Structure 1
Amino acid sequence: HRGDLLDIGSIDLVIKKIEPDEIYNFADQDHVGWSFEIPSYSLKTTALSVIEILEILKNKAKKIKYFQPISSNIFGLTDSRTQNEKTTLNPNSIYALAKATALQGCKMYSRIYNLFICGAIYYNHESPKRSKDYVSQKIVQTVCEIYYGKKKYLYLGDLKTKIDWGYAKDYVEYAWKIMQLKKPDFFVIATGQNYSVEYFAKNCFSYVGLDYKKHIKVDKKLIRPSKTSLLKGNTAKAKKAFRYKLKTKLNDLIKIMMDCELKKYNG
């Protein structure tokens, strides 16, 4: 089946054909930097499309469960050392604004129309499927290119930026678990730990026996103009609702991503 979030009729047609029990909407414009360059597209794809899908569900005789992923970027410039489901939203990018709008829309439709709408406020979740437009995969791919002599340096912005990094596979498993609860709700899904970009890069280089200090160069042009505060997820609510415990530690995630990338060179 094919569809386009900007052609809501195509989404409606797919829903009519499949008659699903559950919908997981992981589609959006999800690059923070790009959202400043294409603000209208970002808002339509990430926020308006959600409202339009909920309009479709509201008019269905069959009650379809709906899952909406939200980004921790909605907290943006926050004074909270850790963030939970009640932390004040303070988005600092077009993407974050769109995600905050989607969250509020989901809560409103659930409340007014008694729809089963749930979701997760996801912190950074990485996997080999990431594109090089994201710092995690940029580091992994460039380290492998340096290891095989295709490049000399990895250019990064702020090495001290700390991120709550998790494994996407673990996070998607919790999407399903959230959907199986009797009552719809939203949960913070995160590791609750922060590691710097420098730490991530250092361990990727170390994995192939290279000294990261010899291969990293700082390029201030790569520093994002609208930085967020330090974002660290508080998962107390998830731990209470279901036995929340992520399987994959950061060093294990780095191994998964590095092994996958190295296979491209080893056949």
Structure 2
Amino acid sequence: MKTALICGVSGQDGAYLASLLLKKGYKVFGGSRDAQMSSFTSLVHLGIRKEVEAVSISINDFRSVLQTLQRTKPDEVYNLAGQSSVGLSFDQPVETLESISVGTLNLLEAIRFVGNPIRFYNAGSSECFGDTGNYAADEVTPFRPRSPYGVAKAAAFWQVANYREAYELHASTGILFNHESPLRPERFVTQKIVTTACRIACGSKEMLTLGNIDIARDWGWAPDYVEAMWLMLQQSIADDYVIATGYTYALKDFIKATFDCLNLNWENYIISDARFFRPTDIKEGYANPQKAKLKLNWSAKHTMKQVAELMVSQKMATLKSMK
């Protein structure tokens, strides 16, 4: 039986990854800053809360990281922790940099210090690339981040690459493009769209207020993406991979797909407000996930429209159960 430590298990990706690893027979430790106080609602939602052994770990604290590694003795460590909102990173740039960059460094250094053959996965982000225009970013595309979040993720990426080369750690980064699910918090735009649209379908008279709806992204399904994380750590040689569907859509396309599921005309319910625009933003994001397909035999199983349908179905079921 393999043992895995998931830092950030209470988030969307952490919960789906825990579910995947449990199905594969792993013993799973779920790391959270305060495991005794955390509700782990995502794990509860997936029905796996009792199967995951929760541990308290602050990845900003090297001693906490080291003690956790010595106690849990993991074969694999997945770093999914840290501040996860691009928008919030403009308001909390220091917290964002520390939780992502310093946290990743602490994990790498602790793994090196322990000396066990631990395999390490780091959650990268397409935000590292910035705006590449119509060019589909791959693993050799230069980084030009346009947010504090992107800067922090870029720093963490290079830390992983440095420890892999300097100390021969089995350390990989997944450069993940946008991936969604019903476990997304409502501060993320896709969940805000789905939740508001479903309330409108249930009779609410509200309008959906958003920022720039002309931005374009590559949107995938989170459960597909955690499989790619696992596959990276099963390779004999560690490496970095772009994980995406390879198809890009405007935000208004996601809005339309969501409202179409509910037989509503989206244009009757949307307000675009400049107050929600970010100081800098990526106009369009395109991805080339061919390396993952060739080396990991991985490709996304769900389209953007299917993601919208799945999220709407889950949200409507939740709203109806509350009546």
Larger RCO (CA within 8 A; separation ≥ 6): 1
State the shift of 1:123 in Å.
0.2
Matches for 1:213-228 after TM superposition, within 5 Å? 213-228=267-282
- Give the TM-score of the pair, scaled to structure 2: 0.80
Match of 1:3 in 2: 57
- SS across alignment from 1:59: helix
Deviates more, 1:250-259 or 1:239-248: 239-248
Contact 1:191 1:246 in 2 (8 A): yes
State the shift of 1:49 in Å.
1.0
Match of 1:235 in 2: 289
1:101 to 150, 155, 162: 155
State the shift of 1:181 in Å.
0.6
Deviates more, 1:18-27 or 1:206-215: 206-215
1:255 to 286, 309, 316: 309
Q: Which runs of 4+ in 1 moved over 6 A?
A: none
The answer to whether structure 1 residue 132 and structure 2 residue 186 are counterparts is: yes
Contact 2:211 2:276 in 1 (8 A): yes
Tell me, in whole angstroms, the C-alpha distance in 2 between the residues paired with 1:25 and 1:130: 18
State the shift of 1:266 in Å.
1.6
Tell me, in whole angstroms, the C-alpha distance in 2 between the residues paired with 1:164 and 1:124: 6
Unaligned residue ranges in structure 2 (runs of 5+): 1-54
Match of 2:174 in 1: 120
Counterparts in 2 of 1:80 and 1:259: CA distance versus 1, 3 Å: closer
Tell me, in whole angstroms, the C-alpha distance in 2 between the residues paired with 1:80 and 1:213: 27
State the shift of 1:244 in Å.
2.4
State the shift of 1:258 in Å.
0.6
Counterparts in 2 of 1:250 and 1:77: CA distance versus 1, 3 Å: closer
Match of 1:86 in 2: 140
Tell me, in whole angstroms, the C-alpha distance in 1 between the residues paired with 2:109 and 2:250: 41
The answer to whether structure 1 residue 153 and structure 2 residue 204 are counterparts is: no
1:196 to 245, 250, 255: 250
Match of 1:64 in 2: 118
State the shift of 1:161 in Å.
1.0
Contact 2:228 2:296 in 1 (8 A): no
The answer to whether structure 1 residue 177 and structure 2 residue 228 are counterparts is: no
Tell me, in whole angstroms, the C-alpha distance in 2 between the residues paired with 1:108 and 1:169: 29
**Count of residues in Structure 1 that have an aligned counterpart in Structure 2:** 267
Unaligned residue ranges in structure 1 (runs of 5+): none
Tell me, in whole angstroms, the C-alpha distance in 2 between the residues paired with 1:79 and 1:139: 25
State percent identity of aligned pairs.
32
- SS across alignment from 1:23: strand
The answer to whether structure 1 residue 55 and structure 2 residue 117 are counterparts is: no
- SS across alignment from 2:114: coil
Contact 2:62 2:110 in 1 (8 A): no
- SS across alignment from 1:149: coil
- Give the TM-score of the pair, scaled to structure 1: 0.96
The alignment yields a C-alpha RMSD, in angstroms, of 1.2
Tell me, in whole angstroms, the C-alpha distance in 2 between the residues paired with 1:221 and 1:83: 29
Amino acid at match of 2:235: L
Amino acid at match of 2:209: Y
Amino acid at match of 1:189: I
Amino acid at match of 2:267: K
Match of 1:23 in 2: 77
The answer to whether structure 1 residue 13 and structure 2 residue 67 are counterparts is: yes
2:91 to 37, 41, 47: 37
Tell me, in whole angstroms, the C-alpha distance in 2 between the residues paired with 1:232 and 1:157: 20
Tell me, in whole angstroms, the C-alpha distance in 2 between the residues paired with 1:89 and 1:30: 19
Tell me, in whole angstroms, the C-alpha distance in 2 between the residues paired with 1:37 and 1:214: 32
